[in-house]
Amino acid sequence: MQTYIICGEGDWYAQKITLRQDQKRSLYRWYEWCGRCGHWRYSWWVRSEATGGGKTTFVAGIEVLELAGPPEIAPVSPDIVSAANSWDQANKLFGAASIMCGGQEGHKVDESPLRGYFEVYDSKIIRSDGRPGEIVRVAAVAATNEGGLPSLFVCDEVHELGDTGEGRARMHVVIAKSTNKRQLRCEIPVTDAGGQVTGVRRVERGPGRIIDISTAGFDVDHSLFGSMYKHGKEVERDPGLNPRLLFECWEAPEHLDFAEEADRRAAVAAASPAAGILWNPADRVAEWGKPLMPAHEWGRYYANRWEKIPEDSWLKEHPAAWGRCKGTWSLAGDEASVLAVDMSLTRDSTAVGTFRLLADGRIAVTQKIWLPSGGRIDHLEVYEYIVTAARGLGDAFRGLVYDPRFFELPARMLEDDEGLAVIQFDQTAALMAPAVGETFTAITADPPQIVHDGDLEFGRQVLAAAKRAQERGFTLSKGKSKRRIDAAVNTCMGVWAIRRLPKPIDILNTMW
């Protein structure tokens, strides 16, 4: 690539591309293959970083590489789809590849080492020697592409495609599924000691592949790229969930407060490996607070952070507090522990939290969250999870905190049939207001009195909860965003209960 590919429009126009170390590492990972079967290790690559990181130029170079690169890489009859939401955005990616391939007739790029090897048209690039292979440009707004037989599907700025199932996102679904129609084959020349070609070695590389690139979007819960991001973060935690996904995301840590200059410097450095190479970090730090750069846009463009704090969030005035609560903890095994459940019947999620009172006074919280499938939650699965979790805690388990509104019968069954201690917590204002207040204080304290493992869905639900003013303080409710908050509610229940565990343990139920 550094020998044959030049940069497209911009400050480095027509200069040979120089790959950064992070880009080289990414390429080495993308072209890992199985020594037994020859298949590519990864079939899907999601790459996200702050704006101005050179994503489009980098991936356009990969398109050209897969069209006409070394025979170990370029498959027989490559069909590369270069896509984006709009024609203008799609043309940025396709246009970069066009310049790399020598430009269109009447606009030839003399600096391109590849000039003359391709015929470049408005929406298609083909080889001049007649061999099969092409790069085609498509846009979601056209809604005309039915997939074809792509060997590689590249989509730029995926966050602009909207929500899964919507019209524009359908373009991605249709073309992406079509990559599975291909079984890529590379034909590698075999030479003798004198360098003469004596035959061809055929290597099967597996199905067609997908590359998605984008900065963060606006709504992580209701967008196609948001679902990709959430899935990628889960795969980071457990690669076994999707071992064929290469997920790379540079983003500012959650504990940073962008109102602080030092935190903004840390944010822009973490959000893109291009910091200090393609642009000056100090310029982005200085953009904060300017009328043309609202705070949420600054975070999205320069910190590559999804906008997570709704305007009516109970933590709006402490946007970095939940991120600061993320950490690690060690367990001796005898820490007093409770479970707390916030049950739903249909469209809402259901959450069961585990709360452990650590030796240093912090409360360690983890959550198991069920999202509705077909509009419903499997209550039997929730019940069995509670039984297993409670027994796994052993003698440290002190009780399950529950609201009888939706959990009265299961609570009685857990107590009578399973022998588990249960703690009734009516979600009235009189009880919820002090519980919410204590949890708010624990989250915003310095140092925090709560510690969690960084689970994304848990964090989204905590940040989505809105204040509802009451006589004795405030409780939580769904805000304007209407996002789920069940894990936030049971966190308040669990924190309040674990701080009031009576002693001795055998009078637990009578105390409640």
pLDDT digits (tens, 9 = 90+) for 392-423: 999 999 999 999 988 999 999 999 999 999 99
State the Cα–Cα distance between residues 441 and 434, nearest whole angstrom. Answer: 11
Q: Is the pLDDT of residue 347 over 80?
A: no
State the Cα–Cα distance between residues 84 and 157, nearest whole angstrom. Answer: 7
**Of 346 and 236, more confident:** 236
Contact status, residue 497 vs residue 509, Cβ threshold 8 Å: no
Q: Give the H or E element holding residue 155.
A: strand 152-156
Q: Which of 26-30, 94-98, 292-296, 386-390 has the least mean pLDDT?
A: 292-296
- 330 CB contacts (<8 Å, ≥6 apart)? none
State the Cα–Cα distance between residues 82 and 89, nearest whole angstrom. Answer: 10
Q: What is the dihedral of CA 242, 243, 248, 253, to 10 degrees?
A: 60
Q: Is the pLDDT of residue 450 over 50?
A: yes
Name the segment(s) of the chain with CATH classification 3.30.420.240.
337-511
- 92 CB contacts (<8 Å, ≥6 apart)? 56, 84, 156
Give percent above pLDDT 90 in the chain: 72
Q: What is the pLDDT of residue 297?
A: 85
The pLDDT of 126-149, averaged and rounded, is 82
177-180 contacts: CB < 8 A, separation 24 or more? 177/147, 178/147, 178/148, 178/149, 178/150, 178/153, 178/208, 179/43, 179/150, 179/151, 179/152, 179/153, 179/207, 179/208, 179/209, 179/210, 180/207, 180/208
Contact status, residue 245 vs residue 46, Cβ threshold 8 Å: yes
State the Cα–Cα distance between residues 89 and 83, nearest whole angstrom. Answer: 8
Contact status, residue 212 vs residue 228, Cβ threshold 8 Å: yes
Q: Is the pLDDT of residue 345 over 80?
A: no
Select from 351, 310, 321, 332 the least CA-distant residue to 451: 321
Q: Is the pLDDT of residue 505 over 60?
A: no
Contact status, residue 82 vs residue 93, Cβ threshold 8 Å: yes
CB burial of 463-500 (b: ≥16 within 10 Å; e: otherwise) equals bbbbbbeeeebbbbebbebebbbbbbbbbbbbbbbbee
Q: Is the pLDDT of residue 19 over 70?
A: yes
Over the stretch 167-179, which tens digit does the pLDDT of each residue have? 789 899 999 999 9
Of the ranges 135-149, 167-181, 485-499, the best mean pLDDT one: 485-499
Over the stretch 217-258, which tens digit does the pLDDT of each residue have? 887 878 899 999 999 999 999 999 999 999 999 999 988 888
Confidence band of 142 (pLDDT split at 50, 70, 90): low
Q: How high is the mean pLDDT of the chain?
A: 91
Say which residue the tokens 């007093």 belong to: 336
**CATH, range 337-511:** 3.30.420.240
Q: What is the pLDDT of residue 143?
A: 54
Q: What is the pLDDT of residue 312?
A: 86
**Cα–chain center distance at 153:** 19
State the Cα–Cα distance between residues 36 and 117, nearest whole angstrom. Answer: 34
What global pTM score does this model have?
A: 0.76
Phi, psi (rounded to 5 degrees) for 234 = -65, -40
- CATH 3.30.1360 corresponds to the domain 21-249: no
The pLDDT of 4-19, averaged and rounded, is 90
Compute the Cα dihedral for 488, 489, 490, 491 and give only its sign.
positive
Q: What is the pLDDT of residue 506?
A: 44
State the Cα–Cα distance between residues 196 and 73, nearest whole angstrom. Answer: 21
Select from 168, 256, 243, 166 the least CA-distant residue to 206: 243
Contact status, residue 159 vs residue 215, Cβ threshold 8 Å: yes
Contact status, residue 187 vs residue 76, Cβ threshold 8 Å: yes
The pLDDT of 335-342, averaged and rounded, is 96
Instruction: Give the Å distances, CA to CA, from 304 to 51, 238, 253, 270, 309.
Output: 8, 22, 10, 9, 14
Greatest alpha-carbon span in the chain: 90
Instruction: Give the Å distances, CA to CA, from 300 to 277, 487, 504.
Output: 20, 25, 51
**Which residues on neighbouring strands pair with residue 186, listed in sequence order?**
203
Q: How far apart are the first and last CA of the chain?
A: 69
Confidence band of 144 (pLDDT split at 50, 70, 90): low
Phi, psi (rounded to 5 degrees) for 248 = -130, 120
